[in-house]
């Protein structure tokens, strides 16, 4: 089995493993990821948030801008699937950013990120433990796999997820992935 198929198989096993979670368990895991992300973001000196650690790497500010820009439409997608409908349109692009991520004030970005996270948490908090829907959300999955030369490369594909897997990927894993990226950027700047 090649690396792409292995990565997709692992991802799909992860999605399936979330089917038994209750909304309360999902909220707990998402909340822990949000808290960990906040701790990393608030540990970066404000004068360094706009500095890129390398030429092809995002600054911490660009990471937060990306999270905000993906979380905003993510709240709408979550509303759709919780209403029993597939969200209209295309999936949220994987590298979505605002038009001027480095021009947005850092305190405003952090406040907006917290508000958007709160909106998602409040939506999930309204879900009853016995809620079931056949609606699915298309999401652009991105995982790192080894390339032919052994170096890592990004594998992208679109996957239709149920609401639980969507919540865990969009809100928990996404926060964790970018928390790690922010931590690496912070370390490179000190």
The whole-number average pLDDT for the span 110-134 is 97
Question: Residue 161 carries which DSSP code?
Answer: E
Token duo for residue 6:
């292995």
Domains of the chain and any CATH numbers: 3-13+23-189 (1.20.120.450)
DSSP string, 98-156: -S-GGGS-HHHHHHHHHHHHHHHHHHHHT--TT------EEEEEEEEEE-TTSSEEEEE
Name beta bridge partners: 101.
none
List % helix, strand, coil for the chain (3-state, nearest 5): 60, 10, 30
- E strand or H helix at 158, and its extent? strand 152-161
Give me the pLDDT at residue 154, please: 87
- State pTM to two decimals: 0.93
**What is residue 75's three-state secondary structure?**
helix
| 162-173: average pLDDT | 96
168, β-bridge pairs: none
* Residue 80 tokens, joined: 């759709």
For 37-93, what is each residue's pLDDT tens digit? 999 999 999 999 999 998 889 999 999 999 999 999 999 999 999 999 999 999 999
Chain mean pLDDT for the chain: 94
Q: Give 130-157 pLDDT, tens digit per residue.
A: 999 999 999 999 988 887 777 788 899 9
The C-alpha R_g of the chain, in whole angstroms, comes to 17
Residues listed for the chain: 190
Cβ burial of 35 (10 Å; 0-12, 13-18, 19+) is exposed
Query: Do 104 and 61 form a contact (C-beta atoms < 8 A)?
Result: yes
105 in Cβ contact with 73 (< 8 Å): no
pLDDT at 173 over 80: yes
Structure confidence at residue 1 (pLDDT): 59
**By percentage, how much of the chain surpasses pLDDT 70?**
99
Q: Are 136 and 81 in contact (CB under 8 A)?
A: yes
pLDDT of residue 4: 87
Which pair of structure tokens corresponds to residue 143? 């995982």
């Amino acid at each position: 089995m090649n690396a792409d198929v292995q990565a997709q198989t692992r991802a799909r096993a992860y999605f399936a493993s979330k089917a038994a979670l209750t909304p309360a368990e999902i909220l707990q895991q998402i909340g822990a990821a949000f808290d960990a992300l906040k701790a990393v973001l608030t540990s970066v000196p404000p004068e360094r948030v706009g500095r890129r650690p390398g030429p092809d790497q995002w600054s911490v500010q660009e990471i937060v801008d990306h999270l905000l820009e993906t979380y905003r439409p993510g709240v709408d997608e979550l509303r759709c699937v919780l209403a029993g409908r597939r969200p209209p349109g295309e999936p949220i692009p994987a590298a979505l950013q605002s038009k001027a991520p480095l021009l947005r004030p850092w305190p405003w970005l952090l406040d907006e990120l917290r508000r958007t996270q709160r909106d998602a948490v409040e939506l999930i908090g309204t879900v009853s433990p016995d809620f079931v829907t056949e609606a699915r959300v298309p999401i652009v999955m991105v995982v790192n796999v080894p390339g032919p030369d052994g170096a890592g490369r990004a594998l992208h594909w679109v996957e239709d997820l149920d609401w639980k897997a969507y919540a865990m990927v969009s809100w928990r894993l996404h926060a964790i992935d970018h928390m790690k990226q922010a931590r690496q950027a912070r370390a490179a700047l000190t």
